[in-house]
Amino acid sequence: MSRTIMAGGTLVTAEASFRGDIAVADGRITAVGADLPRDGAEVLDVSGALLMPGFIDGHTHLDMPFGGTVTADDWDTGTAAAVAGGTTTIVDFSLQDVGGTLAGAVEEWQRKAAGARIDYGLHVAITNLTEEVKAEIPTLSALGVSTIKIFMAYKGTPLFTADEDLFEALQIAREAGILVLVHAENGDVIAKLQAQALARGDTAPRFHALTRPEAVEAEATNRAIRLAEVADSPLLVVHVSCAAALEEVRRAHARGQTVYAETCPQYLVFTYDDLAREGFEGAKYVLSPPLRDASNWEPLWHGLQTGDLQIVGSDHCSFNYAGQKELGRDDFTLIPNGAPGLEERAAVLWTHGVRGGRISEQLFVAVLSTNQARVHGMAGRKGALAPGFDADIVVWDPDRTVTATQANRHGRVDYSPYEGMTFTGGPAAVYVRGALAYRDGEVLAEPGSGRFVERAFRQPAPGPAVR
């Protein structure tokens, strides 16, 4: 059995930073400590670097039909972008066919994921909660799926789910040990506001935000949380965009309710003004919930500090500007919702969070890795630098400075919302199960090298990393 020791780095975990070595064999971490015995191991000198557990992104949409088109990144290009940003595991949304089964969705996504360069898990997004599908939810665990997503938004599409179905899904999921993820926006109100805007001739991208005000998200967040309370079920509210919605999460925590919550980098650095950019440029920033005003940034950072928000996912849902975002040139409701961000997620958080003095490097690791593993059912295998864990390791260069350009990205989409932004802090090298997957701008992991991660939701106990 060949053994490698990564020597002389500073290990950064969700709890502490300390000088130490990591020993790796057969894709797993076998030991962590100061001056580990060499015993003939290959020694990799990483002195000066920060070593972190591989980042996990529990919120991606690769090769997914949505908004009348299909996302630009598939599993090859999307996971190339991921690993170039330090992400070693994603959890992607397999989408139930309206007339199909949940197992069918998982099977279809397993086929798509054959090109994955990093490890992956799968959620199932429910589009049609028939009696058969209700009966099927408890069988997901046997497929290694521990999460389902329910959409309260997108009225007029099969994703939109009525309260009675959300409630019943929560009840069934609770019994089955499945965690429900919710997209919390009031779909009825949005549909009405959109129709009224179009009737007035308000067709530009910025009306995407104006027809999805903060209260629409806060109301749905509170409703989902209260339904989960009645169902006595844990809940994960994904892509929390504003202080008003976060306040509903905070109130649930004050009552002692088990509610996990995710925010995304785009809500920490962009605003409504980006949606109102000249011409049709704002279409690049059409995503849901929409971008808010900058007064929400500090409350969201504060939510990460207090633990009311436990994870930061990318919600990578990439559509090309040419030919895809352009579908909505004359009608903002036809602009496919979503933006790329898998590659930039950690750099945004380091630059604006750690370097910006808003979060510690421990919290950086917690929200990108350790908490992700716990909430998304991979604790014990992913998300920590400890013996027995997969050797998913990011060699992080805190001073690496990169300006986002089309030339230095690794995905397939024709733009980035981060274009021209400069980030300080990024991965110098990334290891997936001990194999070098990325180094100095070059993705080395081959398509198909990623493995499926069977996940099991065990409600994380309150603790330092997950509240």
CB of 214 to ligand URP, least distance (A): 16
User: Tokens 């380091």 correspond to what residue?
Assistant: 350
CB-based contact 51:21 (threshold 8 Å): no
Choosing among Zn ion, ligand URP, none, which partner's interface includes residue 337 (Cβ < 5 to 8 Å by kind)?
ligand URP
Cα–Cα distance between 100 and 147 in angstroms, integer? 18
Terminal C-alpha separation, the chain: 39
User: Tokens 């504003």 correspond to what residue?
Assistant: 242
Residue 106, H or E segment: helix 102-112
CB of 4 to ligand URP, least distance (A): 38
Q: Which is nearer to Zn ion, 80 or 236 (CB)?
A: 236
Q: Which of 117, 123, 155, 183 binds Zn ion (CB under 5 A)?
A: 183
| Residue 317 found at the interface with ligand URP (CB under 6 A) | yes
- Helix intervals (H) in 131-213: 131-136, 163-176, 187-200, 207-210
Q: Which is nearer to ligand URP, 5 or 317 (CB)?
A: 317
Q: Which of 87, 288, 314, 449 binds ligand URP (CB under 6 A)?
A: 288
How many chain residues bind Zn ion (CB under 5 A)?
2
R_g of the chain, CA atoms, integer Å:
21
DSSP 115: G
| Residue 183 found at the interface with ligand URP (CB under 6 A) | yes
Cα–Cα distance between 404 and 317 in angstroms, integer? 18
| Residue 338 found at the interface with ligand URP (CB under 6 A) | yes
- Which residue(s) pair with 297 in the sheet? none
| Residue 315 found at the interface with Zn ion (CB under 5 A) | yes
How many chain residues bind ligand URP (CB under 6 A)?
9
CB-based contact 61:39 (threshold 8 Å): no
Q: Which is nearer to ligand URP, 227 or 317 (CB)?
A: 317
Q: Which is nearer to ligand URP, 20 or 213 (CB)?
A: 213
Q: Which is nearer to Zn ion, 14 or 261 (CB)?
A: 261
Residue ranges with strand state E in 114-258: 119-125, 147-151, 179-183, 235-237
Tokens (6 digits) for 100: 């199909």
Choosing among Zn ion, ligand URP, none, which partner's interface includes residue 283 (Cβ < 5 to 8 Å by kind)?
none
CB of 59 to Zn ion, least distance (A): 5
Which residues of this protein are in contact with Zn ion, per CB under 5 A?
A: 183, 315
Chain residues in the site for ligand URP (CB under 6 A): 61, 183, 239, 287-288, 315, 317, 337-338
